[in-house]
Structure 1
Amino acid sequence: MNHSGTAVGEQVAFGPLTITFDERVLRPRPWTTAQSAWAAELLAGAPAGPVLELCSGAGQIGLLAVHDSDRWLVCVDANPVACAYTLQNAAAAGLGDRVEVRNGDLSAMVPADERYALVVADPPWVPASDTGRFPEDPLLAIDGGVDGLVVAVACVEVAAAHLLPGASLLIQLGNVEQVDALAGSVASTSGLSLDSTRLFERGVVARFVRG
């Protein structure tokens, strides 16, 4: 901590933002600015309402998504350290007055009556047996369970319960096979269906909409 009470971590550029984090939080990956850009595109035509970011880490994806809008942003993450950095990064971006950060389990942190114009999510998607390949990454941020999709399914379920009519979920995964598996596992129960997928250098982002 410095004299002002803020955490002193490493800083990286994320689009026009400067994001602070440390080794307890997943390092912001430059390619994921594409998820923010897609989110901003969708917000231009989305219904009125706030944005929900699930598995927000240091908050960079959601912050960049709303940076050029007047939308409110709610960030949810299970890691209290990540949540503290999100608050710090929101303030640094000049967004502190319209960002709320919640630390805890995804489903418990979003009250039943809340509705959102867009949900963005970057859940852990590495299968538990493969997490040893990424020793530099915090386990909480990458361990997606046996098939890598345990948290991703939870994100879809939360989104399905809280999206406004005409709203979308943008979720980041490791590959198109995971996207197809997620679409197949949740389509019949969530009411959301896969609309489109964009492939990037190190992963994919899928858009789910009300079926």
Structure 2
Amino acid sequence: MDAIVLATRNKGKIREFNILLQLFGLTVRSLDEFPEIGEIPETGDTFLENALIKAREVAKATGLVAVADDSGIEVDALNGAPGVYSARFAGPECDDHANNEKLLAELKDVPDEKRTARYRCVMAAVAPNGAETTTDGSYEGHIAHEYKGSGGFGYDVIFIDPESGLHAAELTPEQKHSRSHRGEAITKLLEAWPDFWEKAQA
């Protein structure tokens, strides 16, 4: 099996990546297996820049193909915020709950029809020889007024899936993968994988 490294320690992301990537014969390793690699600063202004920063750094450090993503939520009423700052919206040491509380507070006077939002994901695969490919995905929905569900992570407890009317945290993993931003980006990545892998071995 081909081994790749996921440039993340986020357990929610690792779980989602594993479910999808292992179906395609890939052995998935996480950054937890490489403790010598410290935190990689996400200094980019866009999801694409951050994904490439992480994937390039991990490929260089491990000598293996690295796959990284940068993802977040864009809220139209907040002019696209929190965007690349989604994971640290409430501060550098915050958790998902703090981020959700801040977002709900920011939107407390915003009516339902203006609470549109989307999850966005950009994924980058980088080989030690410099071969690269990137993909993206989006997941449209809107922001609820209260929490529902116990699955998922991030903003899933307040993000309403338009197809089902359920919060993303109420969906089964299979339902979420079939329509999520990360699922779309991974599907595109896997479509591009044979060509990328050939270049990665050159």
User: Normalising by structure 2, what TM-score?
Assistant: 0.32
Higher share in helix:
2
Query: Between Structure 1 and Structure 2, whose CA radius of gyration is higher?
Result: 2
Return the TM-score normalized by structure 1. 0.31
